[in-house]
Each structure stands twice: as C-alpha cells, then as structure tokens.
C-alpha cells in the first residue's frame, strides 16, 4: 500500500534543525571584531559564550523532544502531548516548531482528528513561521478534515498551494483530486490524477497513488 501523505514530511523540519544559521550573529558582532584587538577579544569571547549556550540549549531541547517521543511510543499520549506543549512554548524555534507538528501527529495517531486538524490550522495561521511549514500545515489540516469539512472550503484553502512554484503543489493537487472524487466530480478528479501520474517532478509515492486512483475510476466505468 502506498505510504500516507504525511510520511516523510517531518524530514523537512529535521533537515532545517541541522542547518546552522549564524549569518545574523556575524552581522551583529562583525564590526566589533574588526574594531581593534581589545574589542576582538571581547567580541570573540561573547560569541563563544553565546555559541556554547546555543549548543547546550539545542542539546537540552533535543533530549526533551526525544523523551516526549518515547512517552508517545509507549502509549502515554497525554504526558507526551504535555511535554511537547511545554517544548513548543520554551524550546528554540526549530524544536518548538517540530514539537507542534509532532503533537498534531500524535493526535492523528490516536484518532483525535478534529483536534489534530485544529492544531495544524493553528500552525497554518502562524505568521511567525516560514511559509513552507505553514503550507505543509494547510495540507495536513485538509487531510484530516476530508470527511468533515465542506469540499468547497477545503478546495479554497488548497488552491493557492497548487501553484507551479509551491513545494507542496503535488500533495495539494492529490488532496484536491480526492475531494473532487468524494464530491462526485469525477471529471475534475480524473484531470488532476492524470496530471499527477504523468508529472515527472511529482514524488514517486504521489504518482503511484494517482495511477491507482485512476485505475479505480476506470474500474468503476467513470
């Protein structure tokens, strides 16, 4: 069976956590470093102090995140969610974001789809995080509201993500096809699925699912 749409999405965030961005720090202290010998010593010392704190903070956040996942893996969802909520409030920006997404995923796993969708929608509406993650949250929220939300409303939310330059366009189109099929609009579903199945830029999993759904439509004589 093809993997779920959600599978592998967190690798995008994990990769973000591994990328260190010290450009802003350099801009802040660069002039001090070149101003003179004394300022150089003070500036480097200040940088090293900040760097040590930053590394320690991320290490601590990583331990807290791993502990929360262990709780979830052991079936203790409530304590896992509490730990992730705390990390989302107090952790560094990378782990705070990851904690919010992982908490929503735990809600999905436990069948609490309305709560999960609301959590994803909160992420989608958070202007403080990068657009790529807000758009991912839109996709995941729609995925978890397929059986409850108005199809027109879902399509309206997904439509901006289907643009050719959006990194989530394939997932958005796939969900739009599912929505169209559920609403009885087989023509639109077929058009979207045919486009995905022949799109060399689409992930293999999405192309495969599109082909499977097209075959199902053919079997139904639609």
- Same domain, yes or no: 93 and 197: no
Give the pLDDT confidence score for residue 49 in this predicted structure.
Answer: 52
Q: Using the structure block, give the residue that is written with the tokens 């139904």.
A: 220
Q: Specify whether 132 is located in the same domain as 165.
A: no
Please identify, among 149, 168, 186, the residue that sits at the C-terminal boundary of a domain. Answer: 149
Query: What is the pLDDT at residue 77?
Result: 96
pLDDT at 213 (0 to 100) = 86
Structural domain tally of the chain? Answer: 2
Give the pLDDT of residue 52. 56
| One domain for residues 47 and 144 | yes
Helices (H), the chain: 10-18, 23-35, 37-73, 77-90, 93-109, 113-124, 131-143, 151-158, 169-182, 186-197, 204-219
CB 126 within 8 A of CB 162: no
Pair 139, 168: CB distance under 8 Å: yes
- Say yes or no: 145 and 158 in one domain: no
Select from 117, 132, 149 the last residue of a domain.
149
Task: Please tell me whether residues 130 and 180 are part of one structural domain.
Answer: no
Tokens describing residue 9 = 């999405």
pLDDT tens series, the chain, 222 aa: 444 444 444 444 444 444 433 344 334 433 443 344 444 444 444 445 545 556 777 888 889 999 999 999 999 999 999 999 999 999 887 889 999 999 999 999 999 999 999 999 999 999 999 999 999 999 999 989 988 889 999 999 999 999 999 999 999 999 999 899 888 898 999 999 999 999 999 999 889 888 988 888 877 654
Domain that holds residue 14: 1-149
Longest dimension (CA), the chain: 80
pLDDT score, position 94:
85
Give the separation between CA 196 and CA 55, rounded to whole angstroms: 42
Q: Assess whether 36 and 105 both reside in one domain.
A: yes
- Model's pTM, two decimal places? 0.73
Query: Which is nearest to 64 in space by CA: 45, 40, 88, 46?
Result: 88
Instruction: Say whether both 112 and 208 belong to one domain.
Output: no
- Rounded-to-integer distance, Cα 104 and Cα 84, Å: 10
| Shared domain check, 101 and 191 | no
């Amino acid at each position: 069976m093809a993997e779920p749409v959600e599978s592998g999405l967190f690798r995008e965030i994990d990769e973000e956590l591994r990328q260190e961005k010290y450009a802003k720090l350099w801009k802040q202290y660069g002039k001090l470093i070149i101003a003179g010998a004394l300022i150089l010593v003070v500036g480097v010392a200040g940088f090293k102090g900040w760097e040590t704190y930053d590394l320690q903070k991320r290490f601590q956040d990583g331990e807290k995140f791993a502990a929360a996942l262990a709780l979830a893996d052991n079936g203790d969802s409530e304590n896992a969610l509490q730990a992730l909520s705390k990390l989302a409030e107090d952790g560094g920006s990378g782990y705070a974001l990851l904690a919010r997404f992982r908490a929503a995923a735990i809600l999905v796993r436990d069948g609490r789809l309305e709560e999960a969708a609301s959590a994803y929608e909160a992420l989608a509406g958070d202007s403080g995080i990068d657009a790529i993650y807000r758009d991912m949250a839109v996709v995941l929220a729609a995925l978890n509201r397929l059986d409850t939300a108005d199809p027109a409303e879902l399509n309206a939310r997904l439509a901006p993500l289907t643009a050719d330059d959006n990194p989530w366009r394939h997932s958005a189109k796939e969900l739009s096809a599912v929505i169209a099929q559920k609403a009885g609009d087989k023509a639109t579903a077929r058009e979207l699925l045919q486009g995905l199945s022949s799109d060399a830029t689409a992930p293999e999993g999405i192309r495969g699912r599109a082909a499977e759904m097209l075959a199902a439509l053919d079997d139904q004589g639609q």
